[in-house]
Amino acid sequence: MAHVELPPDLPGADISAGGLSAVDLGAAGTVFRNRSFLGLWSAQLLSQLASNMVLAGLMGTVFKATGSNTAIAVLILTFLVPAVAFSAIAGVLVERSDARLIMLAANLLRAGGIVLFLLVGENVPLILVINLFVATTTAFFAPAELTAIPRIVSRPQLMTANSVFVITVNATFAVGFGFLGPLLLTTAGVGTVYVVVAVMFGLAALAIVPLPAVPPGVKGEIGREVAGTALRAVFDQLKEGISFVRGHRGIAWSLAYLGIAASLIAVMGAIGPGFATDILRLRPADFFFVMGPAGIGAVMGILFLNAYGRSLPNRLLIDLGLVAMGITLVGLALVKPVTIFLGPAFHPIRQNLPEALSPIISLIALVVVIAVTAGVEYAFVAIPAQTSLQEDLPQEVRGRIFGILNTLLSVASFLPVIVAPAAADLLNLVFKGAGIPVVMAILGFITLGLGIASWRRNAAAGLHRNPAEHGQ
């Protein structure tokens, strides 16, 4: 799921994915009665959904054109890298410009960029170049949006506003990338995805128009010296983040858990189209059968944690999620050989079942069930880890340090996103069709091993006890 950076002038804002559970519905209703916030939130909802939907469409297109898991990984990196590379410069521009105009321009430029996808077809190099442009524009939209929040809502409403913001980021990833994007790709084709996404970005721009101006907080033009200072600030912040993590072991563990969860979901996305073709014998666009159920499972997990998770220790939930996720990944790796082995035994049963019920014991049905389970397990790792990170960070540095740690987390996810798909492609050259199952099995056993080690450590340290008993 997605992680977001809060601006430093929002101390105390609850940025955990379950943050809204701590805010009563009356407070949420009050902030939505603010028309400016409603407009800003509508723009966020539409643009986040659009970004995640187009990712699904592009993944299907690139895999269809190349048949390469590595190409999908490069595509995902064109989404991730600009957010890190241009974060400092974007922040400097937002400080010296009207954030409302930046958001408006960003949505219009993204709408135009999506239209270009219609013109290049399956030309993968051009797709990557256009996507770099769209993702770079997004890197300027996000800080402008975050800057606008404290300007249009009152300070007592900041916690509620930011909780709504973060829940929207997580929900739109699950719904846009995991469900709507693949569904539209499968039923209507990639061209329809591009048209719908371009319209959504256009509507997001319209939602920005009525907002009040968000004047710059710093006066002055952006010169070469300012830009250079901003670039140096990125590396200084990374150093500061590493130093901070080294001095706070609890935060280091939470960050490690988040890194594992984020890397696994990114790798699953990267190899999703290959899984659909190599394992399920479907079209690349049909990776919906993996990511769609996983997105639904993640939402189910978040809802469960919001309702019942607060009485359970965070580390216990994380360890349960890690161990279960490792087992689930191994299960996904074994799903095809097991179904082939057991196929003859199930064949008479399927023949005697009514036609409407026979798909229930199919390979796809099994994958759907496992994918839902994986989504729930992801939520069990990511949500408590993010909550622990928020609770452990000192309030006076919470916004700044969380943003730095978010950058570290993004950088850390680059390596597995490239290595896992590339390894699958190399294995396929030697053992055709074995690449994805072997990679998933390796990831599963690594995750299972890490989960068991974490379980033993946390249990020995008493971190599996009730929070009231242990003082978490």
Maximum mean pLDDT: which of 161-175, 214-228, 424-438, 456-470: 424-438
**Max alpha carbon distance in the chain (Å)?**
77
Read off the pLDDT of residues 285-329 as tens digits, 9 standing for 90 and up. 677 677 778 878 887 888 888 778 778 888 999 999 999 999 999
Average pLDDT, the chain: 77
Domains of the chain, CATH where assigned = 10-222 (1.20.1250.20), 248-472 (1.20.1250.20)
211 falls in which pLDDT band (50, 70, 90)? confident
pLDDT attached to residue 299: 79
Count other C-beta atoms under 10 Å from residue 180's C-beta. Answer: 22
Read off the pLDDT of residues 76-87 as tens digits, 9 standing for 90 and up. 889 888 877 776
Maximum mean pLDDT: which of 155-169, 222-236, 335-349: 155-169
Nearest by Cα to 90 from 29, 139, 135, 35 = 139
d(CA 461, CA 391): 19
Look at residue 21 and tell me whether its pLDDT is greater than 50.
no
pLDDT attached to residue 398: 55
pTM score of the predicted model: 0.73
Q: For the chain, what percent of residues have pLDDT higher than 90? A: 22
Buried-exposed string 401-436: b where 16+ CB fall within 10 A, e elsewhere: bbbbbbbbbbebbbebbbebbbbbbebbeeeeeebb
d(CA 7, CA 11): 9
33 by DSSP, 3-state: which?
A: coil
3 by DSSP, 3-state: which?
A: coil
pLDDT attached to residue 359: 45
Read off the pLDDT of residues 350-381 as tens digits, 9 standing for 90 and up. 555 444 444 444 667 778 888 889 889 988 98
Radius of gyration of the chain (CA): 22
343 vs 207 pLDDT, higher one: 207
Look at residue 199 and tell me whether its pLDDT is greater than 90.
yes
Q: Which residues contact 278 (CB under 8 A, 6 or more apart)?
A: 428, 433, 435, 436
CA dist list (Å): 15 to 135, 169, 228, 342, 384: 23, 11, 30, 47, 12
159 vs 6 pLDDT, higher one: 159
Maximum mean pLDDT: which of 30-44, 362-376, 379-393, 442-456: 442-456
pLDDT attached to residue 150: 77
Read off the pLDDT of residues 227-277 as tens digits, 9 standing for 90 and up. 555 556 656 666 666 677 777 777 778 888 888 888 888 788 788 888 878
15 falls in which pLDDT band (50, 70, 90)? very low
23 falls in which pLDDT band (50, 70, 90)? very low
430 vs 6 pLDDT, higher one: 430
- How many alpha carbons lie under 13 Å from residue 116 in its C-beta half-sphere? 17
Record the tokens describing residue 88, joined without a space: 């400092």
